[in-house]
Chain A
Amino acid sequence: MTLAIDVHGLNKSFGDKHVVQDVSLQVAEGRICGFLGPNGSGKTTTLRMLCGLLTPDSGEGTCLGLNIISQAGAIKRQAGYMTQKFSLYEDLTLEENLMFSARVHDLDRRKDRVAHALERLGLIERRSQLAGTLSGGWKQRLALATATLHEPKLLLLDEPTAGVDPKARRTFWDEIHALSAEGLTVLVSTHYMDEAERCHEIAYIAYGQLIARGTADQVIAGSHLVTFNGEGAGIDRLAGEISRRPGVEMAAPFGAALHVSGTDRAAVEAAIAPYRREPFRWTEVEPTLEDVFIQLMDGAEDNFR
């Protein structure tokens, strides 16, 4: 197994804010790794260090076998990076944006590649439209096409589907899986749990530190979380009351139901015992990724507040 990303002990501070602390991350070639964590947890900074946009204060490692500090230029040629904010030229057409990317990467057969990318996007007939006039979902797909035009071996995506509707998100993920099937390694940051579940594996970062790693099942199992699902009229209104009871780490309404979680089974059972009455019904359920993440987030030390 070859590692596409292999970094150790990355640190980055801005002023007195230690944004990334000792992050080590390994991603095998051809895998899609979901990069999760609350806002401001250092995901963007980590991605930027991986593609040479930021220099780590300390730490070392390789992307595609190239040193992230001394060979940043070579990494830029073989990696694709899609920013969180739409960062193509809004006053250029789709075709012109793609052509710019093709030229900047010094590609051959530029016309063919651009035409092929437009075709793959299904935007061939709108190629003369200004990029700024596209809707959010199409903008992200165009950005993806631009970031992959030079056939990178590693793709770094920073919240590519933020603010995009579910259908467009699904299309976007289909494309990512198709690219992965061709051998591309993808590191994608996201806040969406359904997207996290679509990844081969997950890395969870909170307040600058990597605190969970593995497949979705491994992360859930590793949390040792016990979750009870309560149903019955008005149970969602008990969330605040139950969450204050000892042993309850999280009580959150899920529609009409309520999820109560904790790591100590006995304590959680004791906490819900007074509510084991009509009209409420309780069943133990497998914790969801979201349950796990909220627990991870609450447990992590927030050094920014």
Chain B
Amino acid sequence: MSAFSATRVWAVLIKEFKQLTRDRLTYAMILALPVVQLLLFGYAINSEPRHLPTAVLVQEDSVFARSVLSALHNSAYFDLVAQARSPAELDELIRRGEVQFAITIPGDFTRRVARGDKAQILVEADASDPSATGPALAALAALPTQALVGDLKGALAPRMQARPAFEVVVHRRYNPEAVTAYNIVPGLLGVILSMTLVMMTSLSVTRETERGTMESLLATPVEPIEVMIGKLAPYVLVGVAQTLIILTIAKLLFQVPMLGGWLGLGVGVSLFIVGSLALGFLISTVARSQLQAMQMSFFYILPSILLSGFMFPFRGMPGWAQALGEIIPVTHFLRVVRGALLKGQGLEDMWRELAALLAFVCVVTALAMARYRRTLD
């Protein structure tokens, strides 16, 4: 009786296997997970981002200037998407995050190159995410020796031999020392809030269904919106507490710069907390067990980490992945947090991201209300 019995092992094995085939959704997700991860890591993530949006301010219309711009373009790292007309406009484009680089070719560029008198172009980089700008900035090193090869002929040919025809001055803005933590730590705020809040609330309704208390609750006069608000409100406090803890640690341990943008940050955090909670609630109205709720939450969190620009530069991803990333609320939340803390963005700079978060809250709440059943049908 006490000896090892293969039949008993067989009994347990058969039972497990049968149960495994009964919960198809759970195991479908387990099988889908490696596929999704492989596709995302294999195709979407690019640690050497190219084709970064670049704005230029060209203060002289010359052959040399055009040659420099076409050399930048040919490097494949820079996509010239905007022509600024003034330094202020250029500054706004980079502060709002519409471009990664702002390049100024000064008015005396041609004259100085011709004279061999310390010609310069200015490249300002939004270095809040060092990994997004690093490779592109490294590629700039070759620019001075190559950009003007075709132009410096005849009398100007000696300019090529002596030393590089001009100098590239690089300003790394928002994170001059390229400290990765400055970018990662604010990003973690979005990831941590997503993980805890979505998961916790996704279990809340499923738990009632699993324990059988849902039937009693539904037999009372309580309305769906009352259940939702009542269930989510305690977690709003949890979210606020987490935010304060993360920001405090970010300041004290990681010395993350906090330039301001507190109003926008406050609005963004509030919308994001409410939206994440509502999403968890929505998941819990779909999932039939707590296990399924956990898995669905995980399926939301995985792309939130990979495609939001949290771990890998958003602009390094191919177009389809960026389009997917735009749907993910964390993407917009990260832009709000980084914009506020690292760039001191105001409401006028980040209203698009805040509007996206507001839309997220509205859509998810409406779906959750539509999904929540007043009856057991």
Are A53 and B219 in contact (CB-based, < 8 A)?
A: yes
Q: A76-B221, A90-B211 are in contact. Are A55 and B375 (CB under 8 A)?
A: yes
Across the interface, do B213 and A88 meet the contact criterion of CB distance under 8 Å? yes
Cα A51 to Cα B218 with chains together (Å):
10
Residues of A71-104 at the interface with B, using a CB-CB cut-off of 8 Å, are: 72-73, 76-77, 79, 81, 83, 85-90, 101, 104
**Any chain A CB within 8 A of the CB of B376?**
yes
Q: Indicate with 1 or 0, residue by residue over B209-246, a CB within 8 angstroms of chain A CB atoms.
A: 00111111111111000000000000000000000000
Q: Which residues of A contact B213 (CB under 8 A)?
A: 87-89
The distance from the CB of B206 to the nearest CB of chain A, in whole angstroms, is 15
Q: With contacts A83-B212, A87-B216, A88-B216 known, is A106 near B221, CB below 8 A? A: yes
A72 to B219, CA, bound (A): 10
11 A-B interface contacts by CB (under 8 A): A51-B219, A53-B375, A72-B374, A72-B375, A73-B221, A76-B220, A77-B221, A81-B216, A87-B214, A106-B221, A146-B216
Chain A residues with CB under 8 A of B374:
72
Question: Does any Cβ of B come within 8 Å of A105's Cβ?
Answer: yes
Mask for A55-76, Cβ within 8 A of B = 1, else 0? 1000000000000000011001
Q: Which residues on A sit within 8 Å (CB–CB) of B221? A: 73, 76-77, 104-106
Main secondary structure of the interface of B (DSSP, over half): loop
In the assembled complex, the Cα of A101 lies from the Cα of B221 at a distance in Å of: 10
Closest chain B residue to A51 by CB distance?
Answer: B219
| Chain A: CB-nearest residue to B218 | A53
Min Cβ gap A64→B in Å is 14
Contact A83:B220 (CB < 8 A) given known A53-B376, A54-B375, A55-B375? no
Whether the pair B375, A83 counts as a contact (CB closer than 8 A) is: no
The answer, among A54, A77, A85, A105, for a CB contact under 8 Å with B376, is A54
| A interface residues, how many (CB within 8 angstroms) | 24
Check: A169 CB closer than 8 A to any chain B CB. no
Task: Tell me which residues across on chain B come within 8 A of A90, comparing CB atoms.
Answer: 211
Separation of A115 and B211 alpha carbons in the complex (Å): 27
The answer to the question of A262 belonging to the interface, with a C-beta cut-off of 8 Å to chain B, is no
Q: Which residues of A contact B375 (CB under 8 A)?
A: 52-55, 72
Q: How far is the CB of A58 from chain B (nearest CB, A)?
A: 14
Q: Mark B360-375, 1 if CB is under 8 A from A, else 0.
A: 0000000000000011
Q: How far is the CB of B126 from chain A (nearest CB, A)?
A: 50
Closest to B227 in A: A104
B377 at the binding interface (Cβ < 8 Å)? yes
CA distance A81 to B218 in the complex (A): 10
Which residues of A are found within 8 Å of B211, using beta-carbon distances? 87, 90
B218 touches A85 (CB 8 A): no
Interface centre among B217, B220, B376, B377 (most CB of A within 10 A): B220
Q: Which of A73, A79, A87 has the most CB of B within 10 A?
A: A87
What's the minimum C-beta distance from A144 to chain B, rounded to whole angstroms?
12
A25 to B278 alpha-carbon distance, docked (Å): 42
* Residue A213 is within 8 A (CB to CB) of chain B in the complex: no
Cα A86 to Cα B211 in complex, Å, equals: 9
